[in-house]
Chain A
Amino acid sequence: MNENKYPVIVVGSGAGGAMAAYVLTKAGHKVLMLEAGRDYDPKTETPMFKTNGEAPLMGSGNVDKDFGFYDATVDGGWSVPGEPYTTGEDSEFLWWRARMLGGRTNHWGRYSLRFSEHDFKGKSRDGLGADWPFEYHELAPWYDKTESLVGVCGTNTGLDDMPDSSEGVLQPPPKPRVPELLVAAAAKKLGIPTAPMHRAVLTRAKDDRQACFYATPCGHGCSIGAAFQTTTSLIPMAKATGNLKVVTDAMVKNVTVDDQGKVTGVTYIDKNSHEEVSLQAKVVILAASACESARIMMNSKSKHHPKGLANSSGQLGRNIMDSTGTGLGAFIPSLAGRPKYNEDGHTANHLFIPWWGHKAHANNELDFPRGYHFEISSGFKQPGSGVSSGLQGYGSSLKQQVKDKYGAFVYLSLRGEMLPNEHCYMEIDEDVKDKWGIPVAKFHWKWSKHELNQVEHGLKTAKEILETMGATINHPLPSAEKAILKGGQIIHEVGSTRMGASPKDSVTNQWGQTWDCDNLFVMDAGVFASNPHKNCTLTIMTLAMRNASWLSEQMKKGAL
């Protein structure tokens, strides 16, 4: 390929970028992928079967490795050295990044739930937030294709919150564990359903990837390819077409435009030589993660795009949403001293609690507009740096207290839908540059009563479930303001370049094509019009697959 003009440049190699590159290269287009992080090979770099005891500080987390020593994140976490971000007054926001090939797909939780018909049309229902510019049934076949390609285990439940996949798409889920079954029994008594979690984890071998062998936490990465990450699936498959070239350590600074404001390519900093490199492309796809893509666009101002690239709507950087997060845990006396067995499983939820309140919402019985789900944390986990609290004494009786409590804690984590609001947005901090000389993002954040009321409801419900399991919870529940986690902390940030039906109130159309530049696409969570409580990544990939397929048709037709 001509070294100076590429048919397509994709920025970012995570969920969105790798899917876009996969679809396009399969369709015969030459693609150049630029990735800011270093090259990364899960086959040789994943610490499989390593124990906490073998790691410094028993594997516990710190500023270097926020989620523990073995977490697969490279050069990232809540902070990236030399690449700060700032926050506005009275705003707290946390931004998780990973500077590596494959981005955050190397260590994500792999929870992969479809959004439903209900989720795409929230505004039509309650007047809040924004509708998506299409219906669920238009995306459903693409969900099927994505789930088949990525490999998702789970079952069709028929629940209104969980749209079914087509026959034969899902792989069988693993059997539930004892504490999960007890949660299910307690929830059932309260009229709350539980269901097998859907996870991008293979329980049957596929392509070059093996089935899960039910050991080794997926957050460490998965050298056998069972847990989906783009570095063991989409990227090698795209490379195998011969149409993909990947350049790592390439930090994209801005998108370039011509005199007419049409996109001509990108400029990046080669992190090894510190030199600026400009490349030309017919089409540029940004998939650097929602806030990075918006940052690149804001840093690409020009005569035709004075407020930032493709920002005639003024919506660039607005409408940022995360999931809400909080949780409650308790010691369950009846689980103390229960018979031991191997509870590793696929090392995350086998069962979870999907949102059950659609009817209550329809009947106006709730004082918050959008739903949530609970993830269940429990089990005979590999011991690490934490031990149970409230221990007394020493010697054999002390050890016995630890053993009795082992596997008898259950924690319910709430993950809920947030609505966009005018106080949650990002801009460029003109006073601060990162070490590559690129102006940094500045975040503003404020929860509204919608989220706080939801969190309050969630805490009460979690308490009820735990008490029904026999827990004694003496302490008063914290206020929602105290209990809600910070913006960004659930790592589901979306909406910074939202799609819509009109160029007036959205940055892209339903294909992720910016209204202002027909050869600039966004294929990460920036395009989300809302942020349903179901974790975002399956939908990032599904949209990228659908929209890259549409783009391919346009290019083949000569429209682009």
Chain B
Amino acid sequence: MTEKYEVKLSRRESLKWLGALSASSLIPAGVAFAVETELTKGIGHWPTLKLSPITAKGYGKDPNLIIPPKSPWPKTLTQSQLNLVATLSDILVPREGEVPSGSEVGVPDVVDEWVSAPYSRQQRDRTTILSTLLWIGDEAKLRFGKTFNELSSAEQLMIIDDIAYDKNVKNEEFAQIIPAFSRFRSLVLAAFFSSPAGMKDIGYIGNVPIMGDYPGPTKEAMVHLEQVVKKLGLTL
């Protein structure tokens, strides 16, 4: 599991990672950031964030599409947040043989770019995702007296097992973290599968020029379709 996440410069030759300047702090440099965690016995805890809004500019209505802006706005995650995102990315998307893990393809950079973006959808996600990270940190402290990254794999999974399944949402303690973690999980998966290794892993084989006519489905794909059509009582 990742100890210290290093920003993947290769992913989009990101500019200097700005958050690194405020190394290992939960509070991003230059951002007013207040956290209150309410601890109510029996019901659990949930951080209430007061985030100062992101004021950076977007890339505008006429960005260069051939050379996309490398670092369109300042990133805002701290080093320890990035480390936590890296650990979680690798739990969600572990290395499988030749297929790299989430952090190996730079998922934390994408998450950082996403939560730091000045657009409304990303700003909503920022609250959700920062709350998720804080909750997981708090939970690790409460259960084991350590940071999440200091826990053993088994301990980490005890927490994740509680929050990674919708069925646990009946447990009030996890009612807020489960949907929040789910949003985080979707973002991590999107970041992974849209990387070159992820596209390959999911089986996307387009985006290559074809000379001549479009060949259409392969024989194998047609055989499968014929079976499906038959099973459904249809005809081609």
Contact = CB atoms under 8 A, between A and B. Distances in A.
A402 B96 CA distance: 15
A51 B196 contact: yes
A146 interface: no
Contacts of B210: 213-215, 342
Contacts of B216: 174-177
A402 B225 contact: no
A54 B68 contact: yes
A77 B117 CA distance: 19
A384 B185 contact: no
Contact of A334 (B165, B190, B218, B228): B228
Interface string A208-227: 00001111100010000000
A115 interface: no
A392 B221 CA distance: 28
**Interface size class for chain B?**
35 or more
A236 interface: no
Interface residues of A, number: 86
Contact of B213 (A47, A203, A403): A203
Contact of B207 (A174, A216, A335, A396): A216
Given A50-B68, A56-B72, A343-B206, A214 B214 contact: yes
A399 B93 contact: yes
A406 B210 CA distance: 23
A15 interface: no
A185 B234 contact: yes
Contacts of A84: none
Interface string B194-236: 1110110111111111110111111011101100110111111
Interface stretch (A61-69, A423-431, A518-526): A61-69
Contacts of A215: 206-210
Main secondary structure of the interface of A (DSSP, over half): loop
B206 A380 contact: yes
A177 B214 CA distance: 10
A77 B60 CA distance: 12
Contact of B62 (A75, A382, A392, A395): A75
A403 B61 contact: no
A186 interface: yes
Interface string B87-125: 000011110100000000000001001100101111000
B164 interface: yes
Nearest to B220: A339
A240 interface: no
Contacts of A69: 59, 63, 65, 68
Contacts of B130: none
A391 B186 contact: yes
Nearest to B69: A56
A344 interface: yes
B61 A76 contact: yes
Contacts of B207: 49, 51, 215-216, 344, 382
Contact of B209 (A56, A213, A391, A406): A213
A53 interface: yes
Given A64-B61, A182-B225, A382 B236 contact: no
Contacts of A546: none
Given A391-B185, A396-B96, A399-B93, A172 B213 contact: yes
- The interface centre, meaning the residue of B182, B218, B225 with most chain A CB atoms within 10 A of its CB, is B225
A291 interface: no
B68 A56 contact: yes
B68 A55 contact: yes
A557 interface: no
B189 A398 contact: yes
A468 interface: yes
Contacts of A21: none
Given A215-B209, A339-B220, A385-B190, A51 B68 contact: no
A207 B163 CA distance: 60
In the A-B complex, the 5 residue pairs with the smallest Cβ-Cβ separation, listed nearest first, are A175-B216, A344-B206, A213-B209, A174-B214, A53-B194
28 contacts: A50-B66, A50-B68, A51-B196, A53-B196, A53-B198, A56-B68, A57-B119, A62-B122, A65-B59, A174-B213, A182-B234, A184-B236, A185-B234, A188-B235, A215-B209, A340-B203, A341-B220, A381-B204, A387-B186, A392-B164, A392-B165, A395-B93, A395-B94, A403-B202, A403-B203, A406-B203, A468-B232, A470-B228
Given A382-B204, A383-B193, A396-B94, 11 more contacts: A51-B199, A80-B61, A178-B217, A185-B234, A188-B234, A216-B207, A387-B189, A392-B166, A395-B91, A398-B93, A399-B93
Interface of A: 38, 44-47, 49-60, 62-65, 69-70, 72-77, 80-81, 172, 174-178, 181-182, 184-186, 188-189, 203, 212-216, 220, 334-335, 338-346, 380-387, 389-396, 398-399, 402-403, 406, 468-470
